[in-house]
């Protein structure tokens, strides 16, 4: 039997304290034998970092525009978290021979992807799935854990409500699968 040589990485963003969806996603992630997790901002309340920290996976995380109490996030996340250093806009790491950048904001994510200095770039903020390549670089927004369209306050008649989702990135294929949370 051939051995799988890649690594499965969960990419989450924008939970906005929607704990039921977060817990569903974390249960699914456990079943999928994910080895590492990225969280691309907007957990919102620090207690959410504590919930994610209990999954017992390495977590690479950045803060978003709704993550106010930075010290509490670091304290409650625990030893499994690697945070983007304060005052830095993005993080970068090499995992399974793939160079990965992660941030919260889409313009920065797209800039990093277009630089082609990375195999994959993960970001959040918009609550909209994006899964496309710029040259060799995968640009990925996993959508939102909360499932709320980013324009929910200005929801127009006929506009679909957002779908709760996260992604599983595969280092072997440099591709991602979007998973809807049901």
- Paired tokens of 9: 């990485």
User: What are the chain's domains?
Assistant: 10-173 (3.60.21.10)
How many CB atoms lie under 10 A from the CB of residue 160? 7
CA neighbours closer than 13 Å in the CB half-sphere of residue 172: 7
How many CB atoms lie under 10 A from the CB of residue 55? 17
Note the helical H segments in 8-64: 19-31, 46-53
* pLDDT given at position 179: 97
Q: What is the pLDDT of residues 113-168, one digit of tens each?
A: 999 999 999 999 999 999 999 999 999 999 999 988 655 444 445 545 678 999 99
Q: At CA 41, angle to CA 136 and CA 71, rounded to 5?
A: 130
Reply yes or no on whether the pLDDT at 44 is more than 80.
Answer: yes
pLDDT band, residue 103 (cuts 50/70/90): very high
């Amino acid at each position: 039997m051939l051995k799988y040589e890649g690594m499965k990485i969960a990419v989450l963003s924008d939970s906005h304290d929607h704990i039921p969806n977060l817990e569903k996603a974390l249960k699914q992630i456990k079943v999928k034998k994910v080895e590492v997790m990225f969280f691309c901002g907007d957990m919102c309340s620090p207690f959410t970092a504590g919930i994610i920290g209990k999954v017992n996976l390495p977590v690479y995380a950045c803060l978003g525009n709704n993550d106010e109490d930075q010290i509490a996030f670091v304290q409650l996340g625990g030893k499994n978290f690697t945070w983007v250093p304060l005052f830095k806009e993005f993080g970068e790491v090499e995992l399974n021979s793939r160079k990965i950048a992660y941030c919260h904001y889409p313009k920065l994510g797209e800039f990093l992807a277009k630089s082609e200095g990375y195999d994959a770039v993960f970001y959040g903020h918009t609550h909209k799935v994006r899964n496309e390549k710029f040259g060799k670089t995968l640009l990925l927004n996993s959508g939102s854990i909360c499932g709320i369209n980013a324009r929910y306050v200005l929801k127009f008649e006929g506009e679909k409500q957002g779908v709760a989702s996260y992604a599983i990135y595969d280092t072997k294929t440099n591709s991602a699968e979007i998973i809807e949370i049901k």
